[in-house]
Structure 1
């Protein structure tokens, strides 16, 4: 199932109401396969119903000393046909069941991928994984085996009762009365199945969520010596799942024995009364044996119906959990008919884009983040956004990417409201490097090509050099084919950030959004990356950078200062130093003062800057572990620092 099929599915994919009605509608999508399986099993059951009749004739022939060859041959044929058809029908059901699980998991996975970011923020990923694994398996049985078993079982049950009535009505009445007692017991415990199933599935979802959280942060867990605390929470959720499972087991242990007891009790009663009927001459021995055989055939459909009633309650819980996600609103990725998302390695049409915020307001739940934010980013410029933590800097980028939509006001790109643009078109023109700089499991090359899987080797080599990864790639055992580990764990934080920036640049975007994209780089690599970002801005690309470290943004064409959800100032570094109290306070709190002062204050400063520029434009920063390289870079940085000390309004960190 491709992206196009799914994305178009917001309008093309059916949705289902909760409960039995939704389950029936979902099952109807497999009606052709279910009908084939139903017919095969029905014929197999018919063969089973014919066996007692033929067996009765066989006994009469034996008692009358007639030839039994043809009757035995017919009985064998009935046995073989019934077994073969039952096996084929069972295989069709199993195959359909596997298809149900496959399609449901793909549909659920696709839905999760196209789900709005706000929904992902509200839900735990572990619980979503539980729905895609355990819950889909529970749905399988009640969509495939359940309906076919119920219908064929009901038909077999009715047919058996009719044939038994033809043999002896009195024995049938005794049988039904005995069965009614056992089924009465079953119906008293069935209402307890659904709450127990709900407790079990919910606890399993929470258990997987806890495990997922712990494994994602396993280094933090170990460094915090929190293994026991995490284990206690795992034990708590596992205990909840155990308790629910135990309740289900208790209920199941009452349902099956009650039905079996009813069947066996009926058999004994019928055997006694039937024997008396035979002795009185009201019933032949062959009729009694045929009746008893029909009574045994009732056991299978009756037990199946009892099991189905229990499974149906559990399956409905799982179906509703899956259906809850499938009915959530998706992002409007496409404007028209389904089409493939563009993942090609060429520039989006048009040059650098203009970005405008007009009176934008936004908040998460009841917490206001942005309030009447307005500014303009000129095409081809490098604009930096700074401000205290929680000021809404990252939220600005999320609104441009349309991960969220503004509560009021407008976000415009080239004069077009982003909420009126197809997301496919919008995100094709934007490259986004988020704060956590995620690297996916796979190779270095696959991560760089992630947004543009068809990119040429030359294009990849170019961005690798552009972000300073050439030396690293040369040193890796398999070059670009080296595995990065789960979530990039085998790479350093700075290496992951450079891979993420290379991935963004490979697509030749019209807008480049960087959210703390150099926060894990050392000072030398940051200087080099700063030049890379500066060079990215131009006729082809508009760059917007969010950063806490002013050294990253000091050379931006324009700096926007956010505070308290509002724009507290905008301008160049020098202008804001003169006019903005908020910006001055931010500057005074920095730990890398060397980059926040205009270049070339005196000869020493000019010389230090010159050395840094020479160092940055070489490949030296690719070999940062070499002692002589570190020494050269440190000397240049120290010369630059000393030249800038004493600037008014700054607080410096002594080396």
Structure 2
């Protein structure tokens, strides 16, 4: 997967305006230099009366040029930021689109803090490279080359001296830049480690408090912070060296012009006005030269961030969908698992759930109960085998149509930060009042809302931690049921619930008009099921009367294995 092009779409036009801006600024510098040379040489020889009028006219010209040049600088900054924001906007959308396709299993292998850096630190580095690097390079390079070319016409020796100094400074910055990239890479690594640690402790602060490890974690944070501080100081040292080269260039260029100009004046090869004009050119070019020095700094930082973003975009674990994949058509909701194998979990599993059946999945931890539910929702793909819904291979159907027909609730699908209403309607934001009413009645949402201080507008924290387990279960189940999906996947949705919340699960099992696959460890609930899939022995039981005792025995056997 590739990153967006800098010159794509409206960014090409923006870059063109920046190049024209650089030409315009170069024109202002050249005009100001010529005007300064003429004014200086003319005013030295003019009489007092004529000198006053001439001075006023020159001042008016100087003022006009300065105002135009200042306007160009303002426009340059605006266009540069627009270029960077446009690029980062597109890249951010690409990153999130990729993130939303990564399987939860693959994402769990990454630290949350490290993943966040893709969207914060790395995007910032790339934005700086585009808006403060490429944009400034487009303006400063054009301005510098054009101005030096014009100065070469006025005085080739002075222009040549400045050009040589520029080349020496560029070579020096290339050498120093390699060390800067290493320092930037090291600082970024330390920042990632710190962010990952803090992100983990935020979500697990109760663990730290319960086991009385506050001092230990503070020592770890202190150590990581010191390492990050040292790395950032090392990076700042390298950045300072680059900027020192730029400042030295400006200083040496000014001193060189004075010395060379004085020598030329003594030999009659230049006028005082020419030397003053050359010094003015250096002064006007100083901001552009400083920009060129920082361009290298931004480029080195962006190289590291670009590498990490590409690694993220090209990492395995994405759930792929073929272009033009047909929509899944669900009528009865028959689910067939054919020879499913997942490394370290399920091996050669085959079962069939008829439309409208209630299926319980039981077995010891690690036998693949939650894995099968995730495979049915295609949160990731099996290593071998296929899953059919109403005879259609879900791997060949569009993801949107598949998930539109599936509702899912479980501990790995937490509530989101925001209002209760936002969470309830998350699966179907445009749900009608009738659809909402049906789900509210089935899940007892009206009673829940009455107990909350803000009703539907009550704000909840990440994961719904500000709510009780029963309240979270009601909202999660209502979210999964909204829109009446044909298939309902419940991953231990009845765990750690009070009696009221458990009765809600029973009510859903009795009244839901669709196929249910449910992971459960509760014996009374298993007796309500049409089939029990014991993943420890792959022992199914059917709904028929002559098979009822086998179903109960299988459920008891499965629960004994679990407990």
* Both proteins in one fold, TM over 0.5: yes
Secondary structure of 2:521's aligned partner: coil
Q: Aligned residue for 1:354?
A: 334
Q: Alpha-carbon deviation of 1:179?
A: 5.0
Q: 1:182 to 1:349 in 2, by over 3 A?
A: closer
The match for 1:299 is 286
Query: 1:529 is matched with which residue?
Result: 505
The alignment status of 1:411 with 2:387, answered yes or no, reads yes
CA contact (8 A) 1:383 1:559 kept: yes
Q: 1:459 to 1:144 in 2, by over 3 A?
A: same
Residue pair 1:384, 1:553 contacting (<8 A) in 2 also:
yes
- Matched residue count: 551
Change (3 A) 1:422 1:349: closer
Contact 2:246 2:290 in 1 (8 A): yes
Q: Does 1:64 align with 2:45?
A: yes
Q: Secondary structure at the match of 1:409?
A: strand
Matches within 5 A, 1:541-580: 541-563=514-536, 567-571=538-542, 574-576=549-551, 578=553
Equivalent position SS for 1:453: coil
Match of 2:302 among 312, 315, 330: 315
SS of residue in 2 equivalent to 1:356: strand
Answer yes or no: is 1:49 the counterpart of 2:30: yes
Equivalents in 2 of 1:452, 1:514: separation in Å?
Answer: 18
State the distance in 2 between where 1:544 and 1:178 align: 74
Runs of 4+, deviation exceeding 6 Å: none
How do residues 34-433 of structure 1 correspond to structure 2 at under 5 angstroms?
Answer: 34-65=15-46, 66=50, 68=54, 69-178=56-165, 181-327=168-314, 330-332=318-320, 336=324, 350-363=330-343, 368-433=344-409
In the aligned structure 1, how far is the partner of 2:112 from the partner of 2:36? 59
How far off is 1:180 after superposition? 5.0
In the superposition, relative to structure 1, how do residues 282 and 98 fare at CA in structure 2: closer, same or farther (>3 Å)?
Answer: same
Deviations 1:253-301 (A, max 9, x none): 1112223223312322332342233234332211221222223334333
Q: Secondary structure at the match of 1:465?
A: helix
Instruction: Report the CA distance between 1:168 and its aligned residue.
Output: 4.0
Do 1:27 and 1:144's aligned partners in 2 also have CA atoms closer than 8 Å? no
The whole-number CA distance in structure 1 between the counterparts of 2:41 and 2:562 is: 103
Aligned equivalents of 2:281, 2:336: Cα separation in 1: 80
Q: In the alignment, is the contact (CA less than 8 A) between 1:179 and 1:259 conserved in 2? A: no
Cα distance change, pair 267–385 in 1 and its aligned pair in 2 (3 A): same
Q: Which runs of 5+ in 1 are unaligned?
A: 1-14, 17-21, 340-347, 592-655
CA distance in 1, matches of 2:283, 2:452: 70
> SS of the counterpart of 2:414?
coil
Contact 2:361 2:519 in 1 (8 A): yes
Following the alignment from structure 1 to structure 2, what is the Cα–Cα distance between the partners of residues 587 and 253?
A: 67
Matches within 5 A, 1:4-43: 15-16=1-2, 25-29=5-9, 30-43=11-24
1: CA distance, partners of 2:175 / 2:371: 55
Distance in 2, Cα, partners of 1:557 & 1:387? 17
Q: CA RMSD in A?
A: 2.8
Residue 590 of structure 1 deviates from its aligned partner by 7.8
- 2:474 equivalent in structure 1: 498
Give the secondary structure class of the aligned counterpart of 2:518: strand
TM-score by structure 1 length?
Answer: 0.78
C-alpha separation between the residues in 2 aligned to 1:172 and 1:511?
Answer: 77
Q: Supply the distance in 1 between the matched residues of 2:330 and 2:559 (Cα, whole angstroms).
A: 36
For residues 527 and 500 of structure 2, the distance between their equivalents in structure 1, rounded to whole angstroms, comes to: 16
State the SS of the aligned residue for 2:534: strand
Contact 1:175 1:266 in 2 (8 A): yes
Worse-superposed segment, 301-310 or 106-115: 106-115
Structure 2: gaps of 5 or more residues: none
Tell me, what secondary structure is at the counterpart of 1:41?
A: helix
SS of corresponding position for 2:460: coil
- State which drifts further: 113-122 or 405-414: 113-122
Secondary structure of the residue that 1:370 maps to in structure 2?
Answer: coil
